[in-house]
Amino acid sequence: MSHENKFKQQVRRLYHKLIIAFGLIGIAVFAFIYVALNPSILHNKPEETEIIAIPQVEGKIENGIHMETGFVDEEGLAEVIQNCTNCHSAKLVTQNRMTKEGWIATIRWMQETQNLWDLGNQEEAIVNYLAINYAPQKKGRREVLTNVEWYSLKD
Ligand code: HEC
* Ligand 1 atom nearest 115 alpha carbon: 1
Specify whether the CB–CB gap between 66 and 58 falls below 8 A.
no
Residue 146 lies in a domain: no
Residue 115 lies in a domain: yes
Centre of ligand 1 to C-alpha 61, Å, is: 23
pLDDT for position 44? 67
22 and 78, same domain (yes or no)? no
72 and 118, same domain (yes or no)? yes
* Ligand 1 atom nearest 83 alpha carbon: 37
Q: Over the stretch 82-114, which tens digit does the pLDDT of each residue have? A: 999 999 999 999 999 999 999 999 999 999 999
Tell me the C-alpha distance between 141 and 13, whole Å: 105
31 and 95, same domain (yes or no)? no
Tell me the C-alpha distance between 155 and 146, whole Å: 26
Residue 82 lies in a domain: yes
Residue 26 lies in a domain: yes
Number of neighbours of residue 129 by Cβ within 10 angstroms: 21
36 and 65, same domain (yes or no)? no
Mean of the pLDDT values across residues 1-10?
83
pTM for the whole thing?
Answer: 0.66
Residue 37 lies in a domain: yes
Task: Assess whether pLDDT exceeds 70 at residue 142.
Answer: no
88 and 117, same domain (yes or no)? yes
Cross-strand bridge partners of residue 61: 66
pLDDT for position 5? 87
- C-alpha closest to that of 83 among 52, 134, 121: 121
pLDDT for position 1? 58
Residue 101 lies in a domain: yes
Mean of the pLDDT values across residues 134-149?
76
Per-residue three-class SS string for the chain: CCHHHHHHHHHHHHHHHHHHHHHHHHHHHHHHHHHHHCHHHHCCCCCCCCCCCCCCCCCCEECCEECCCCCECCCCHHHHHHHHCCCCCHHHHHCCCCCHHHHHHHHHHHHHHCCCCCCHHHHHHHHHHHHHHCCCCCCCCCCCCCCCCCCCCCC
Q: Over the stretch 14-70, which tens digit does the pLDDT of each residue have? A: 999 999 999 999 999 999 998 888 877 777 666 667 777 777 899 999 999 999 999
Q: Which residues line ligand 1 (CB under 6 A)?
A: 83-84, 86-88, 92-93, 96, 106-107, 110, 114-116, 126, 130
Q: Whose CA is nearest to atom 19 of ligand 1?
A: 110
Domain of 78, CATH number, reads 1.10.760
67 and 31, same domain (yes or no)? no
Number of residues assigned to the chain: 155
The best mutation among 80, 92, 123, 124 to test binding of ligand 1, ranked by most ligand atoms within 8 Å of the C-beta, falls on 92
Q: Over the stretch 23-38, which tens digit does the pLDDT of each residue have? A: 999 999 999 998 888 8
pLDDT for position 141? 66
Q: Whose CA is nearest to atom 30 of ligand 1?
A: 93
Residue 148 lies in a domain: no
pLDDT for position 2? 74
pLDDT for position 48? 66
Q: Whose CA is nearest to atom 34 of ligand 1?
A: 84
What's the domain count of the chain?
2
Range of the domain at 15: 10-41
The average confidence (pLDDT) of the chain is 89
